[in-house]
Amino acid sequence: MNQKVVGIAFVENGKLLIVKSHKSSKTNSWTFIGGGVEEGETLIEAAIREVSEEIHNDFKIKGENLHQILSFKEHAASDPNKIIEMNVFLCNKKIDVPLTTNEEILHYHWYKIGEDYNISSSIKDHFIPYAIKNKII
């Protein structure tokens, strides 16, 4: 069985928030805010928990802030030998707290299409084409 994973897309001013976590730094890749779905969690519950863990500074979202836009299987950015089921949510809540590094996240970046970053395939091959087609970015 593939591990279920959530990715949360925050888009502001035509830019996507990408992060380099301790896990994704092993492959030098940038990913969505997000992570694995724990046993007994719904996708929405996992997305809410991951945002709270990775953005910190008391930033919280609710289920109504999330809209699932994509679901697909691919190799994990942190482990190319692992297949995951990625579920991407678009979050309509603006980030109104400072983005500060923490025990999970090494770097944050507001990514503009075309910048030279090693973005994960979930962003490059799935989210960006969807976002362009639907005029999100």
pLDDT in tens, 78-137: 777 889 999 999 999 999 999 999 889 999 999 999 999 999 999 999 999 999 999 999
Q: Structure pTM? A: 0.94
| Residue 49 neighbours by CB under 8 Å, 6+ apart | 38, 41
Beta bridge partners of 107: 20
The domain ranges of the chain are 1-6+29-79+90-102
C-alpha–C-alpha distance, residues 11 and 111, integer Å:
9
| Residue 39 neighbours by CB under 8 Å, 6+ apart | none
Q: By C-alpha distance, which of 40, 62, 42, 39 is closest to 51?
A: 62
- Number of Cβ within a 10 Å radius of residue 52: 14
Share of the chain above pLDDT 70, in %: 99
Q: For position 1, what pLDDT does the model report?
A: 65
